[in-house]
Structure 1
Amino acid sequence: MPRIFSWLMSCAILVLLTSCSDFDKEFTVRSAKSTIDVSLDGTALVSESFDISVKKMENYGGVYVDIPQRFTDASGGSHWRDFNLVAARRDGRDEHYFKENNVPGYSIYIGEMHCKNCRADLPVGAGNIEIAYRLGRLVRQEGDHQVLFMPAYMGGIHGQDAKKAVTFTIPPGGVLRRSHLDPPAYEITRNAPNEILVSIAAGKRDRVLPDIEIDYPAGTFLSGTSDKQVRLWLSDHFLAFISILGPLITCLFVALRLPSSWRLPTPLIAVDSKITESVSPALAAYLFRNWKMSAAKAAFMASVCHLAVKRGLRISSLGEDAEASDLSAKQARKKGKVARAKWYGLPAATRLVFGRIEEERPVEDRRRILYAWYGFEDELHATVVAEYRKVRGKDRWMLPAIFSILALGVAVAYFSGLLIFSAAILGILLISLAAVMALLHPERLSGPTDVRQMLGLCLGIPALTILSLYYIGTTEVISEQQPYLMAILLDMAGIVVVPAMLRIPTPKQRQIRNNMLNLNRYLLGEIDGPTMSIECYEHYLPFAVALDVQHYWTERFNFWRESEKMDAYAPDWLIGSQTDGIIKVSSKSAEE
C-alpha cells in the first residue's frame, strides 16, 4: 500500500510538473558528452553527462532527460531497442529519479519532485547531470555480413539544443558506411580502429540524426537466438500493433452484429400466440409506444389488469380511479408448490406492481390503485428493460470486447507517453456527457445532500475541467505521437459504440414488436385471430389495456356474447355491478 500511495503521489506531482513548468527559464544546457561502449553481444552501455546552469533560485528541483529508443536507419525504417536504466546522478551523487514512457523512448526525471517554493530547489549556478543505461542489441544480419547500427544521438534535456560529443567504443574490423552521411548532419572522426568520435554542433536537432552504420564480417558479434530476434521484431512493431488492434476489435464486433440487426424478421400475417405468452403486458405497452414516457402508466394499468384476470386481486374498474381488494396472491403462493409456481410464472413487472399495491394502506380492505402509481415510473421502466434484454439474450462477447479495447487503449497511452493527456481528454468527454445528460434529463439528478457533495459538484468538477483543459492546451503532442493519439481516440469511441449496439433490436425483438402491432389489429377486429371465448377475452384484456384498445376489445366480446345468447358476464375478479362502460356485470352478480 505505501508503494501504491507513493506511485500515485509521484504521478500527481508529475502532472503539475509537466503542466505548469517552464524549464527553459530555469535551466540552460551548456554542453553534453556521451560514451557508448558496444559489446560483442551487440548490446551497448551508454553513459551521458550534461553540464547545466540553474538560472533561478526557485525551481522544480530537477530536470527531464529524454532518451530516445526509436532509431531511424539509412533507409528510413524505424526500430526500437531495449532500455535498462543503470544509474542517475547529480553532481556526482546518486539522485532520485522517476521514469516515464514517451513515443521516442523515455523521459527520466532526475531530482526531487516537488512544487515551487519548496526547499528542494537546485542551487543557482553550474551543475552536472549524469545518467547511465544499457541499450539492447544493435546488430542486424545482412547476407553474409553483420551491420552495427549506432545512434548518433542520445539523451537531451527538455529538447534544448546544445553542443554535444558522442564517443563510440566498438569492436575492431568494421568498415564505416560513409555514403549514409551525405549530407553530413554531424562531424565524425575515427581516432582509433575501435573508437569513433561524433561532434554535434549547438542548434542541431539531435533527435532526427540518422544512425551510424558499420559493416562487420559474419561472426564478429555473437549470433542472437531465434527467440531473441522474434522479440526484437515484436518490440519494433509492438506499439503499432496494439494501436491498430483496438479499432480492429471494434470494427469486427460491429461487423458481426450489424448483419443480424439488419436481417428482417419472419413476416407475420396473424397473431402469434406463443410470442404473446412470452411477453408481459407491461413490455407490450412500451413496445407499442416505442419506449416513450407515456407508456409507463399504460404498462402499470395493464399489469393491474393482468393481476386481476390471474385472480391475484379484485379491481373495481379498469380506469385510473379503480380500487383493489382481496390481495390474495401473496398468501396463495405460500400454500404449496402449485401456487408458488403459478405466482412466479407471472412476469416480473406484474409481480412488482402487486408488491407496490400491497404497500398501500387499505381503507375498508380497498386500496386506491392510483396512489401506488406515484413515483413508480423508474422502477417499472427498469424492470421492463430487464425483461426486454432477457428476450434479446446474453451477449457474451460484449464485455470481453469492451475490456479488451479499454486495456489496449490504456497500453497505447502508457507506452506512447500520452496517459495523462488521454486521461485529460477522457475527463473532458465524461464531464461534457454528464452536462448533456443533466440538460436532457434533469429529473434524474438529485440535489446535493450535504456541504461536501455541494462543494464537490460546484468546485471540484469546474476545477477538474479547467485543469484538464490547461494540460491539453499546454502539452505538446509531437508528430510521432499523433497517430497513437488518434488510435486512443478511436478506442474511446469503440468503448461507446460496442455497448450502443445493444440498443439496436435483434430480429427476435423486432418480431415481438411486429406481433404487438398485429395484436393491436386483431383486438380492433381488423384481422382474424384466436377464436373468441371468455378465456380468450380475459387472456388478451391486459394487452388491450396496454395498447389502449380495451373499449373496442370489450365491444367485440359483448357482441360475441350476445350472438351466442349468453348470460351477462360476471367475472369474479371485478368489484361492483358496472364499470365505467368498459365491462358490464349482471345485477345478480352485483348482489352477490
Structure 2
Amino acid sequence: MLRLLAWPILCAMLFVLTSCSNFDKEFTVSSANTTIEVYTDGSAFVSEHFDILVKKAENYGGVYVDIPQRFTDASGGVHWRDFELAAARRDGIDEYYFKENNVPGYSVYIGTEHCKSCSADLLTGVTKIQIAYWLGRLVRQEGDREVLFLPAYMGRVHGQGAKKTLTLKLPPGGTVRPSQQDRAAAYDITRSAPNEILVSIPVGKADRELPDIEIEYPAGTFVTVTSGKRVQWWLSDHFLPFISILGPLIVGLVAILKFRPYWLVPAPLITVDTKITQSISPALAAYLFRNWRADAAKAAFMASVCQLAVKRTLRISSLGDDAEASDLLAKQDRRRSKAGRAKWYDLPAATRLVFNGIAKEPSAGDRRRVKNARPDVRDELHRTVTEEYQKIRGKDRWSLAAAASILALGIAVAYFSGLLIFSAAICGILMVLLTVVTMFRHPERFPVATGTSEQFKQAAGLFVGLPAIVIAALSYIGTTEVISEQRPYLMAILLHIAGIIAVLAMLRMPTPKQRQVRNNMLDLSRYISGEINGPAMSVECYEHYLPFAVALHVEQRWTERFNLWRESQKMNAYAPDWLITS
C-alpha cells in the first residue's frame, strides 16, 4: 500500500507531534506496478513503481511507501518477513529516504530531505516513485507440500482506488491455490509465461482487503530450512508480543516482592532485640511509634534531651515542659580529648541538633529553658530524622532498575509498533497533569520567582507553555489514526506507563528493614511495659532505655519498674549526676 502525507501544521510547543495530512487535495495515485522475482531459497526481490499526480504546489515533499512484514497467512499463523531496502528513486534518480517502524513493517519515506531553510515541495504533475527491496521467509511447510505465500498488500492503497498490476516470476512446478474468498471479484490471475504470473487488480474502493496469493509446490523445491533458522524465525515472529507483555510481568514481580512481607505472619517475639537501640536515635523511635504524625515532634525533642542527659552532655532538671538544662558540654571540651570527641560524635545527628538548639538559647546564670529551643529546631529535626530513616532504607537499586527496564520496554514497543510519537503525546499530557497536581499539593516545591524576568518566564511557562503542550498533544492524538493492528500494542504501552507509575509509587513503601525497625519499636514498648522479656534491669539498662521510653511515652512505667527493681536489690536512693537537684 502507499500512503502520502500532506503539509504539516505546526502546533504550539511540540513540533514533532504536529503533522496533519490533507492527502486527497495534494496527491492522486494514478497506477501502481510491482515485479516480484521469487528464488529457490524462499526469498524474493521486489521492485515497485508508482505514478503519483501532484495536484498542489505546496505539499509535504515526499511520499511514504508501506512495506508490510507482519502478516497472518491463510492457516491463521502470524509471521514476520525479513526486509532489506535496495533502492529508492524518484523519476529514475536516487532520492533521499528514511525508514520508520509500524506494526505491519516499515514505512519508507521517499522525497526531499526536510530542513528549516529548504523547500520540501514536489513539483506539480506526474512524479514516478520507485522502491526496490528484498523479502525473505515466503515459504512454509504443510505436510509433504511447500506453499509459497504472497500477501496481497498491493491491493490496499490508502485513500485511493488506483489500478495495480503484479508480475510474479516464480520457480517452475507451482500450482495456484484456490482462495477461500471470491478471488475473481478481487483480482485476475493469468499465466503470461510458463514461470510467470500476471495479477491485475482493478480500480476499487479505498482500503479494501484482498485475499493472499498462495502457490503450492512439491516438497524439495525450495532450500531446506535448518532448525537454527526456524528458531530465529520463531523469535522474530513473537518478539513484539513478547516485549509487550514483559513489562507488565516485571511490574507483577515487583509487586509480589514488595507485598510478600505483608503476607508472611512473623512469629511472636518473646524478647526484645537489644541491638535496635544502638543503631537508631530516640527521635526516630518517636516518629516511627507515632507513624510520623505531627505530635511526634515534641516526643522526639524531649527524647533527644533525655539522651543528652544520660550521655552526660548536659544536666536537666526534669523531663517535663518546664525542664531546664545546665552544664552544657562546651566546644573546647568536645575537642580537647579523644574521649570528648568520641562522646560527642557517638550521638545521633538528631540528638546533636537538639543540643545545638539548646546551646543557642539565652541563659539565666547557667540554666536554659529547654522548651524554648523546640520551635527553632522542629523542622530541621524532622528533616534530620527523615534522612536517618532513608539511610536505613538504603538504595533500592532493583526497583529503580525495574522501572528503567519497563521504560525501555515501553519505548521499544512504541518504536517497533510505530506509536512512538503517539506515546510521547500521551506522556506529555500525563506529565503536565502530574506537574499541575504537584503544584497544588506541594506548592513549596515551586518557589515564586523574585525578579521581574523570572516571574515572566514562570508565568509564560505556566499559562502558555503547559496549555500549548496539552493542545498540541491532543491535536496529534485526535488527528492520528491508530489502525487495528496497533491497538493491542497501544494498550501494552499504556500498561507500561501505568507499570512505571506503580513501581515508582511502590518505592515509597517501607523496605523490610524499615518495617523491622518499626516493629522493633513496638516490641520495645512492650518490653518497657513489662509484657515481654528483655535485658536484665540495672542502672545502666535503665539509663540506656530511658530516652526511648520518653520517645514511646512510657517513661513513667519504665521508672516504676526501675524503682521496684531498686527496692528488691535494697539499693540506696538513685541520684544520677545528670539530674539537677534542688
TM-score between both structures, scaled by the size of structure 2: 0.83
Closer, same or farther: CA 53–288 of 1 in aligned 2, 3 Å: same
Q: Which consecutive residues of structure 1, in runs of 5 or more, have no partner in the other structure?
A: 1-11, 575-584, 588-592
Map 1:411-430 → 2, pairs under 5 A: 411-430=412-431
Tell me the alpha carbon deviations over residues 143-193 of structure 1, each in whole angstroms, 9 at most, x when there is no partner: 333221112224966554422212111122211112445454322222112
The CA deviation at 1:79 is 1.0
Unaligned runs of at least 5 residues, structure 2: 1-11
Alignment-derived partner of residue 8 in structure 2:
none
TM-superposition CA deviations, 1:296-330 (whole Å, max 9, x none): 45434433433342234556765498667634589
Structure 1 segment 290-329 matched on structure 2, within 5 A: 290-313=291-314, 319=321, 326-327=328-329
Task: Confirm or deny that 1:178 pairs with 2:178.
Answer: yes
How many angstroms apart in 2 are the aligned matches of 1:359 and 1:142? 89
Q: Does 1:437 align with 2:438?
A: yes
1:476 alignment partner, one of 472, 481, 490: 481
Q: Deviation at 1:501?
A: 3.8
Aligned twin of 1:218: 219
1:72-151 alignment runs, 5 A limit? 72-112=72-112, 114=114, 119-151=119-151
**Distance change in 2, residues 1:370/1:256 (3 Å):** closer
Determine if contact 1:303/1:350 at 8 Å carries over to the other structure: yes
CA contact (8 A) 2:308 2:351 kept: yes
Q: CA deviation at 1:566?
A: 4.0
Matched, 1:569 2:575: yes
Alignment correspondent of 1:268: 269
Whole-angstrom CA distance in 2 between matches of 1:272 and 1:54? 83
Amino acid at match of 2:482: V
The answer on whether the counterparts of 1:283 and 1:299 sit within 8 Å (CA) in structure 2 is: yes
Equivalents in 1 of 2:187, 2:358: separation in Å? 88
Distance apart, 1:530 and its partner CA: 5.3
Distance 1:288 1:267 in 2: 18
Q: Which amino acid letter does the alignment assign opposite residue 195 of structure 1?
A: E
CA–CA distance in 2 between the matches of 1:14 and 1:105? 26
C-alpha spacing 1:528/1:251, structure 2 compared with 1 (3 Å): closer
Q: How many residues in Structure 1 have an aligned counterpart in Structure 2?
A: 560
Moved more, 437-446 or 512-521: 512-521
Which of 512, 521, 536 does residue 516 from structure 1 map onto? 521
2:275 is paired with a residue whose SS is helix
Alignment of 1:571-590 (within 5 A): 571-572=577-578, 585-587=580-582
- After superposition, residues 192-211 of structure 1 pair within 5 angstroms as 192-204=193-205, 208-211=209-212
Alignment of 1:326-365 (within 5 A): 326-327=328-329, 332=334, 335-336=337-338, 345-350=346-351, 357=357
Identity of aligned residues (%): 64
| Match for residue 385 of structure 1 among 382, 389, 412 | 389
Residue type at the aligned position of 2:129: I
Counterparts of 1:62-77 in structure 2, within 5 Å, are 62-77=62-77
Q: Name the counterpart of 2:48.
A: 48
The answer to whether the 8 A contact 2:44-2:134 is kept is yes
Name the counterpart of 1:579: none
Amino acid at match of 2:428: G
Q: Distance in 1 between matches of 2:167 and 2:33?
A: 8
Contact 1:169 1:194 in 2 (8 A): yes
Is 1:535 matched up with 2:535? no
Which whole-Å deviations, capped at 9, do the CAs of 1:65-89 have from their partners, x for residues lacking one?
Answer: 2221122211232211111122222
How far, CA to CA, are the matches of 2:326 and 2:210 in structure 1? Answer: 86
Q: 528-537 vs 224-233, which deviates more?
A: 528-537
Matched, 1:370 2:374: yes
Contact 1:265–1:510 (CA under 8 A) maintained in structure 2: no
TM-score between the two structures when normalised by the length of structure 1 = 0.82
RMSD over aligned Cα, in angstroms? 3.7
- How many Å separate the matches in 2 of 1:374 and 1:174? 87
Greater Cα offset, 95-104 or 541-550: 541-550
**Is the Cα contact below 8 Å between 1:412 and 1:488 reproduced in 2?**
yes
Superposed, which structure 2 residues align to 1:226-305 within 5 Å? 226-268=227-269, 271-305=272-306
* Whole-angstrom distance in 2 between the partners of 1:447 and 1:208: 59
Query: How far off is 1:507 after superposition?
Result: 5.9
**Are the counterparts in 1 of residues 305 and 354 from structure 2 also a CA contact under 8 Å?**
yes
1:271-300: per-residue Cα shift (whole Å, max 9, x none)? 443334443212212211112344345434
